[in-house]
Amino acid sequence: MNKIVPVIFIALSLASCTGNKNGLKRIPLARIGEKTLYYNDVPYQLVKGLSGDDSITAIRNYVNQWSKRELLFQRAEKNIPSNVKTDIEKQLDENRFNLIVYQYQQQMMLEKMDTVITEKEMEDYYSGNMNSFTLTSNIVKALFIKLPAETPNLNKFRTLLRSNRQKDIQDLESLCYQFAEKYDDFNEQWVTLDRVSFELNKEITGQEDFLKRNTYYETSDSSTVYLLGISDYRLRGSISPFEFVKDDIKRIIWNDRRIGFLKDLENGIYNDAIKENGIKIY
């Protein structure tokens, strides 16, 4: 009959009373059939910082959980059909194979694969595949400002935002630091109009017409004024600007390079085995 060996309580007492942990490593805490749990199998983090009764309680709880899991496993192993057990063994073998190969591939990629992707590589890829980068959303370059409704001299914000002069933009930025709840140029990058619409707290319908008619837009509610200056836009269905898809291109190039590297790695190992007579095909 499966049982938990009583020596567990002796080991737990020793663990809490002595600093000689090396002598405790092979002390059995529990045994279920042919499987034994030893003191050094207990995760160190479980008892780190604990002492006395707390340490004993934590280890006892771990032993109880281990025993329940092991009993369940052994009962299941005895009672599942043999064909199911065979399938499980095949899956375990396949998973072990995949995991070992994956870890080796990752190691080789870290050691030997060129991971540097230059700006020119990305630009060349973009130039050769522009038709693959069609916009599915309307995008803009814009400056968004969110102001409390009671902000003094709102007209100055409106005037400066409509200006193209660099000095006026600097003055606007200075004012926004003083009064604005939010001032965002989206890092001067392209963003979807849907995102801007979210910031405005208002849905923009007829987006294409909106963009063609507006370089400045303002809306408000009872507590807030929202200002938007649009410096450039591209409509859905047109070719994406390089800057908007740059990160996508980088991922594509890296993935293509990864696939090529792994293929070369596999072929290289195969060719080496042939040269060294390490493979026989019957």
- Taking only the tens place, the pLDDT of each residue in 144-172 is 999 999 999 999 999 999 998 999 999 99
Query: What's the whole-number average pLDDT of the chain?
Result: 89
pLDDT of residue 238: 97
Please answer whether residues 216 and 118 qualify as being in contact, where contact means their C-beta atoms are separated by less than 8 angstroms. Answer: no
pTM recorded for the entire structure: 0.74
Residue 57 in contact with residue 16, Cβ under 8 Å?
no
pLDDT at 160: 95
For residue 193, the surrounding DSSP H or E stretch is: helix 193-200
Whole-number Cα distances in Å, 35 to 4, 22, 31, 75, 169: 11, 22, 6, 13, 74
Q: Average pLDDT, stretch 112-135?
A: 96
Query: Tell me, what amino acid is at 221?
Result: D
Residue 3: pLDDT over 50: no
Contact 209, 138 (CB under 8 A): no
State the pLDDT at residue 97: 97
Q: What percent of the chain has pLDDT over 70?
A: 90
Q: What does the pLDDT average to over 4-13?
A: 50
Return the higher-pLDDT residue of 212 and 277. Answer: 212
Q: Per CATH, is 135-234 categorized as 1.10.150?
A: no
Q: Detail the DSSP E strand segments found in 206-278.
A: 216-220, 224-234
Residues 189, 191, 193, 199, CA torsion sign: negative
